[in-house]
């Protein structure tokens, strides 16, 4: 058996940080996530993180009345992810973790610039790396950024940490008979009524055989259970199609 450490990219949506408020950053949630990540590091797992920006601003909404251009709105969205990343860095340091933020847009006063070789060195040294500012390009999402970074750092999997415990055929909050898929193919994950992530991210994951895991981030030690191979409380998108 290989004793190579597992390397995982965890993607949190910006909205998840907002908690009940629906906007801004809830430090109680931040601390909960920081402790979950700490547990992973203590189990010798190398962790990269991407956080969305939806709790602050999204390009599409910023541009909806035509005053702000979509591309500018997207840059505003990317800056939101930097705000969230700095908050997460603080929370992780608060629980004793060693963290680096690497931004896709150069911002040297507050973060390193993304350099994949440097990111890998940090991970090898047991540091958590938070990848901020998405891909650095408008018209993309942080799901795509997370998939891209996961592939670049040779992660074993990407975990999309959400408010639900997996992928359903219908919204489980609205339909009590919604069916959960434990395993899905990449093609199924692209299906319009499922939409695990946007098509660009899934296509990238598929081309590079990167497994995508969708799970509930609010269940204590769930991330650890999943990374250690207990897939009951999540859905996996990968090459096999035994639903």
| Contacting residues toward ligand UDP, per CB under 6 A | 13-15, 52-54, 58-59, 73-74, 77-78, 80-81, 134-135, 137-138, 140-143, 145
Let me know: does 127 contact 62? Beta carbons within 8 Å.
no
* Closest separation in Å from C-beta 228 to ligand UDP: 26
Q: Starting at the edge strand that comes first in sequence, how are the strands of the sheet with 157-162 ordered?
A: 112-113, 99-103, 128-132, 46-51, 7-12, 157-162, 212-216, 234-237, 183-184
* Closest separation in Å from C-beta 80 to ligand UDP: 6
* Closest separation in Å from C-beta 118 to ligand UDP: 20
Nearer to ligand UDP, 17 or 190 (CB): 17
Nearer to ligand UDP, 13 or 235 (CB): 13
User: Which sign, positive or negative, has the C-alpha torsion 205, 46, 4, 240?
Assistant: negative
| Angle, in degrees to the nearest 10, between helices 199-207 and 142-152 | 10
Nearer to ligand UDP, 75 or 186 (CB): 75
* Closest separation in Å from C-beta 243 to ligand UDP: 26
Let me know: does 218 contact 163? Beta carbons within 8 Å.
yes
Let me know: does 142 contact 131? Beta carbons within 8 Å.
no
Let me know: does 185 contact 212? Beta carbons within 8 Å.
no
* Closest separation in Å from C-beta 50 to ligand UDP: 8
Nearer to ligand UDP, 126 or 138 (CB): 138
C-alpha span between 240 and 225 (Å, rounded):
21
Report the residue closest to ligand UDP, judged by CB: 52
Nearer to ligand UDP, 126 or 203 (CB): 203
């Amino acid at each position: 058996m290989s004793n190579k450490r597992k390397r995982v990219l965890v993607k949190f949506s910006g909205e998840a940080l907002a908690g009940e408020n629906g906007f801004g950053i809830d430090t109680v949630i931040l601390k909960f996530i920081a402790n979950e990540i700490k547990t992973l590091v203590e189990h010798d797992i190398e962790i990269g993180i991407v956080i969305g920006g939806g709790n602050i601003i999204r390009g599409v909404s910023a541009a909806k009345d035509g005053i702000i251009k979509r591309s500018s709105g997207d840059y505003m969205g990317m800056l939101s992810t930097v705000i969230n990343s700095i908050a997460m860095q603080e929370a992780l340091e608060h629980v004793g973790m060693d963290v680096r933020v690497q931004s896709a847009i150069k911002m040297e006063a507050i973060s390193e610039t993304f350099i994949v070789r440097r990111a890998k060195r940090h991970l090898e040294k047991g540091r958590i790396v938070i990848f901020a500012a998405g891909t650095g390009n408008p018209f993309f999402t942080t799901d795509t950024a997370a998939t891209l970074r996961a592939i670049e750092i040779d992660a074993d999997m990407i975990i999309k940490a959400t408010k639900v415990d997996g992928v359903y055929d219908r919204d489980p909050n609205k339909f009590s008979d919604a069916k959960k898929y434990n395993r899905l193919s990449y093609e199924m994950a692209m299906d319009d009524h499922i939409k695990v992530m946007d098509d660009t991210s899934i296509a990238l994951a598929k081309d590079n055989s990167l497994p995508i895991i969708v799970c509930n981030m609010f269940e204590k030690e769930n991330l650890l259970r999943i990374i250690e191979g207990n897939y009951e409380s999540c859905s996996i998108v990968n090459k096999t199609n035994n639903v």
